[in-house]
């Protein structure tokens, strides 16, 4: 009896350990960590509830005046602070000096020349100048709304944008001329909490390192304006936010790298994981605009997903070695999970330049309404997936051997694809003939589009087999656990019966 009890006890311990190992095996992975990025705030985050705003002049009720002067030489003090009401100031002269640092200035505007935290302020004409660290020009925060027209804004020091929103603020700028000299000083700028920023007309110029013309952690729309960056990107979109350009002329010369940046580009879409922008799908839209890039790629996407819509733009890359689009991992995010996922929609859009996609990144490119792409796609065959869709009016022209995962073409004979003497590999099978038989090629089947053969998709079969094996393994694990659980119950019952007999 004692030997039997001992055997049953040992068996019970083995079963418990086996079940425990199975549970550990099935546990989910830990969440990835983040790091500060280009434009992300550094240091500890402060709470808005602990922030105090102080103005050399404060407006707290409806006010109308003209030709007034507002100034502050004290750090962490606004030249003009608006806390409520609807006010209009015309032709003001506003100056701000005095340094500040930390999140209070960048997130809450404590050192801006003009801060509206509640209420509405209309600024008509006038000049706003700042020369102090973290001294932004015009700043809308929280429930604040700013409408500024026909004014001139100049900032000279680091971390000093011209027009800015955070925390849900709203700002509309009409025919404003803005220029920034400092590093991390985008003329059109947002930070934590975002908001809505609309620009109509005007000229915006940046000169510093890490100072794109637009830095977006908000929803930013620019219409009919001229944007120039002499050292940095033209546009940066971080996280789940957007930039829309309509009838804009933008020229970027990204000659200086900032923070974790390792590549030169005109349009940069990423997620820094610093907490300044929500994680999610961003968007970049350009319509009827002229985009000029003087160094590096036109667009670089990393550690995020995004939808890019291009319609009827003139896109010029003056860097002969710079591509059109690069999607890959960089220094932001968790290694192995920090590629990019891009949906590129081109409508009546001509695109020239190579496309690079790494092994943890994806591209879906849709060409429609007379669009044309000319370049080499994924020349090193590294991409996770690339899907291309062509309508009957669009053309694909190769300038080098290219590798894609799937091709969906509205023209059955694929005569709108100009191989130009090169090879297009679709899901591993080469298209080498210009005399196409006509077929739709997807990731579910491989088709050689010449006049010779159709090949079964063995890679797809292998993938399905792998998935089947994975599913089978999971099922076996579940069944094993169920059996062990049943056996455990039987052991317990036997022990209980034997104990009763002993009594």
The alpha carbon dihedral of 254, 260, 262, 263 has a sign of negative
Look at residue 412 in the predicted model and tell me its pLDDT. Answer: 81
Q: Domain for residue 129, yes or no?
A: no
Beta bridge partners of 89: 65, 123
Does residue 245 fall inside a structural domain? Answer: no
What is each CA distance from 136 to 16, 74, 199, 363, in whole angstroms? Answer: 63, 14, 17, 37
Tens digit of each residue's pLDDT (9 = 90 or more) over 89-108: 999 999 999 999 889 999 99
Residue 84 lies in a domain: no
Please give the pLDDT value at position 488: 58
Residues 126-155: tens digit of each pLDDT: 999 999 999 999 999 999 999 999 999 999
Cα 417 from chain centroid (whole Å): 31
Q: Mean pLDDT over all residues of the chain?
A: 84
Q: Which pLDDT tens digit goes with each residue over 2-36?
A: 554 554 554 544 444 444 443 332 222 222 222 23
Q: What is the pTM of this model?
A: 0.80
DSSP string for 412-425: TT-TTEE-TTS-EE
Task: Please say if the pLDDT value at position 439 is more than 60.
Answer: no
Q: Which range of residues forms the domain containing residue 380?
A: 348-453
Count of H helices and E strands in the chain? 3, 41
Let me know if residue 281 belongs to a domain: no
Mean pLDDT, residues 241-260 taken together: 96
**Closest alpha carbon to 361 in 335, 329, 393:** 329
Coil, strand or helix at 388? strand
In a domain, 407, yes or no: yes
Model pLDDT for residues 300-338, shown as the tens digit of each residue: 999 999 999 999 999 999 999 999 999 999 999 999 999
Residue 475 has pLDDT above 70, yes or no: no
Q: What is the pLDDT of residue 250?
A: 98
pLDDT, mean of residues 50-71: 97
**Closest listed residue to residue 375, CA positions, set 342, 356, 357, 397:** 397
Q: Is the pLDDT confidence value at 438 over 60?
A: no
> Residue 396's beta-bridge partner residues?
373, 417
Tokens 């922008």, residue located: 277
The verdict on residue 431 lying in a domain is yes
Q: What percent of the chain has pLDDT over 90?
A: 73
Give CA–CA dist 205/214, Å, rounded: 10
Residue 406 to residue 390: CA distance in whole angstroms: 11
In this structure, of 78-82, 425-429, 476-480, 481-485, the range with the lowest mean pLDDT score is 476-480
Q: Which of 115-129, 298-312, 451-465 has the lowest mean pLDDT?
A: 451-465
Per-range mean pLDDT, top range of 230-234, 257-261, 441-445: 230-234
Phi first, then psi: give them for residue 277, nearest 5 degrees: -140, 140
Residue 484: per-residue pLDDT:
55
Coil, helix or strand for 39?
coil
Question: Count of domains in the chain?
Answer: 1
Q: pLDDT band at 413, cuts 50/70/90?
A: confident
In a domain? residue 252:
no
Task: Find all residues with CB under 8 Å of 493, minimum gap 6, and list them.
Answer: none
- The answer to whether residue 434 is domain-embedded is yes
């Amino acid at each position: 009896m004692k030997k039997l009890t001992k055997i049953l006890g040992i068996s019970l311990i083995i079963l418990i350990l086996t079940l425990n190992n199975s549970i550990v095996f099935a546990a989910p992975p830990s969440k990835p960590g983040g790091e500060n990025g280009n434009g992300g705030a550094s240091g500890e985050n402060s709470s808005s509830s602990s922030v105090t705003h102080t103005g050399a002049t404060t407006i707290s009720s409806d006010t109308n005046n003209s030709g007034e002067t507002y100034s502050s030489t004290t750090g962490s003090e606004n030249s003009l602070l608006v806390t409520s009401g609807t006010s209009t100031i015309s032709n003001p002269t506003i100056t701000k000096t005095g340094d500040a640092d930390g999140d209070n200035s960048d997130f809450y505007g404590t050192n801006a020349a003009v801060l509206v935290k509640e209420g509405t302020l209309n600024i008509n004409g006038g000049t706003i100048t700042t020369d102090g660290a973290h001294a932004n020009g015009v700043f809308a925060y929280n429930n604040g709304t700013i409408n500024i027209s026909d004014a001139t804004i100049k900032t000279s020091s680091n971390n000093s944008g011209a027009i800015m929103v955070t925390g849900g603020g709203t700002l509309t700028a009409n025919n404003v001329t803005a220029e920034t000299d400092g590093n991390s000083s985008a003329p059109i700028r947002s930070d934590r909490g975002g908001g809505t920023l609309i620009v109509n007309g005007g000229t915006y110029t940046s000169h510093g390192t890490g100072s794109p013309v637009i830095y977006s952690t908000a929803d930013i729309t620019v219409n009919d304006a001229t944007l120039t960056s002499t050292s940095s990107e033209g546009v940066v979109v971080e996280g789940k936010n957007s930039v829309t350009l309509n009838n804009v002329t933008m020229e970027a010369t990204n000659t200086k790298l900032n923070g974790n940046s390792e590549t030169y580009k005109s349009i940069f879409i990423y997620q820094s994981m610093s907490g300044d922008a929500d994680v999610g799908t961003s968007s970049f839209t350009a319509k009827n605009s002229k985009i000029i890039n003087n160094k590096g790629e036109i667009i670089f996407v990393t550690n995020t997903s995004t939808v890019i819509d291009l319609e009827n733009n003139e896109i010029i890359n003056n860097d002969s070695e710079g591509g059109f689009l690069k999607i890959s991992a960089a220094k932001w995010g968790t290694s192995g999970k920090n590629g990019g996922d891009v949906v590129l929609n081109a409508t009546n859009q001509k695109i020239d330049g190579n496309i690079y996609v790494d092994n943890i990144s994806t591209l879906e490119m849709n060409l429609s309404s007379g669009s044309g792409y000319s370049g080499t796609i994924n020349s090193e065959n590294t991409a996770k997936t690339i899907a291309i869709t062509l309508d009957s009016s669009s053309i694909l022209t190769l300038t080098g051997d290219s590798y894609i995962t799937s091709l969906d073409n509205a023209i059955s004979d694929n005569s709108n694809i100009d191989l130009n003497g090169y090879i297009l590999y679709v899901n591993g099978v080469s298209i080498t003939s210009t005399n196409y038989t006509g077929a739709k090629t997807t990731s579910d089947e491989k088709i050689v589009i010449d006049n010779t053969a159709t090949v079964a998709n063995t890679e797809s079969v292998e993938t399905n087999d792998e998935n089947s094996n994975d599913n089978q393994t999971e099922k076996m694990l579940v069944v094993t656990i169920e059996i062990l659980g049943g056996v455990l119950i039987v052991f317990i019952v036997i022990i209980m019966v034997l104990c009763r007999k002993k009594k």
